[in-house]
Structures are given as structure tokens and as C-alpha cells.
Amino acid sequence: MSKKLVFATNNQHKIDEVLAKIGDDFTLLSLDDIGCTDGIEETGTTFTANASIKSQHIYNKYHLDCFGDDSGLEIDALGGEPGVYSARYAGTHGDHEANMDKVLAKLAGQTNRTARFKTVISLQWQGREHIFEGSVEGTIRSERSGNKGFGYDPIFQPDGHTITFAEMTMAEKNAISHRARAVEKMVEFLTQ
């Protein structure tokens, strides 16, 4: 019988990425699946703090094993921006086009385009919190390429590849992505 595990999100892209990694040992539930309509505010100043806010909210309210994540893009030439503000970098939460426009405008003329995607997962498991991190290094392209994925995927080219995340299949992206690496660590912990 598979164990139930709540992912503190309703982002179907994230859910699909995790489902591809988590296997049949777990039944993955979204916030919708447990009837949670709370607006969980990410008020932390780090990825870890925001991930913990989500997982602790769900665990404290529903007493279910769960995990929350926070991810973002860190660009060296911008001092680590957009960082924890990645989803709302241009002002409106989830406006991917405006966020990419702002990054590309700020990097205009920059030769240093190194960046990384980072994910931190906070897992509440049997009453204890466990933290897992994943990251992938890459560069920011000067223009968009590809139409798969979400967020900054069309401008992020991972090291060792000649295409962006948005040009990769989900399987290709899941083999190397920041979220996949963090999820792999969590799954390894849960199945040991």
C-alpha cells in the first residue's frame, strides 16, 4: 500500500516533475486534494525559510506527512537576484514573461551570465523536519528558446548542454534539474 504524502502546492508543472521521480511507493496529494485553500504567504528571506513555512503550515493544520519547496534562479552578475523573489521578480506573481524580460534587460551588455537554479525541500515526516537541496549550474541566454517547461526555463541553459530547459523533454530536464536533484535526495531518505 502506498503512503500518502502531501506536496504543498497546486502548481501542476511541479507536481508532474515530482510524480516522475517519486515512484509508486507514495500517493502524492496536492493542496486541492486535501481541500486546502489557504493562501500560504512566503515571507521568508531564504529558500529554506519559505519551504519550511509551507510544510509547517500543512503539518500543523492537517497533521499529514508533507513537503513544501521553494525554488528560484540566482544570477551571479545580479548579486544572486532574483533569488527568493523569482516568481514575482517583475512585480506580479507568476508573470513568467515579465520576469524573463526584467532579467534580460538587467543583463543587457553583461558578459558574466552564470546562474543556477536552486530548490530547497522541507519535508515534515513523522513529526520531524528534514531539509533537502538541489541545484543546477548554467548560463542565461540572451533570448528565449523553447516552449516546454515554465518560469525561466526558456532562458536557462544548463552547463554541459547546448539547449535550454524549455527545449528539453520532461525526462531530459528531470534527469538534471534542481528540483529533481532535491526530490531524489528526499525519496532516498523516505525509502531507506
Which DSSP string do the residues of 116-158 spell out, in sequence order? EEEEEEEEEETTEEEEEEEEEEEEE-SS---SSSSTTGGGEEE
Residue 1 has pLDDT above 80, yes or no: no
Burial string for 65-101 (b: 16+ CB within 10 Å, else e) reads bbbbbbbbbbbeebeebbbbbbbebbeeeeebeebbe
What integer best gives the mean pLDDT of the chain? 93
d(CA 60, CA 179): 24
Calpha distance 117→138 (Å, rounded): 8
- Model pLDDT for residues 11-23, shown as the tens digit of each residue: 888 888 888 888 7
Q: Is 25 a catalytic residue?
A: no
Catalytic residue of the set 70, 95, 153, 159? 70
pTM of the model: 0.90
pLDDT at 11: 85
Q: Which domain holds residue 183?
A: 3-191
Q: How far apart are the first and last CA of the chain?
A: 17
Section 31-50 average pLDDT? 94
24: pLDDT confidence band, cut at 50, 70 and 90?
Answer: confident
Average pLDDT over residues 130-158: 96
Number of domains in the chain: 1
Over pLDDT 90: what percentage of the chain? 79
Looking up residue 107, the CATH number of its domain turns out to be: 3.90.950.10
Inter-residue contact 174 to 181 (CB < 8 Å): no
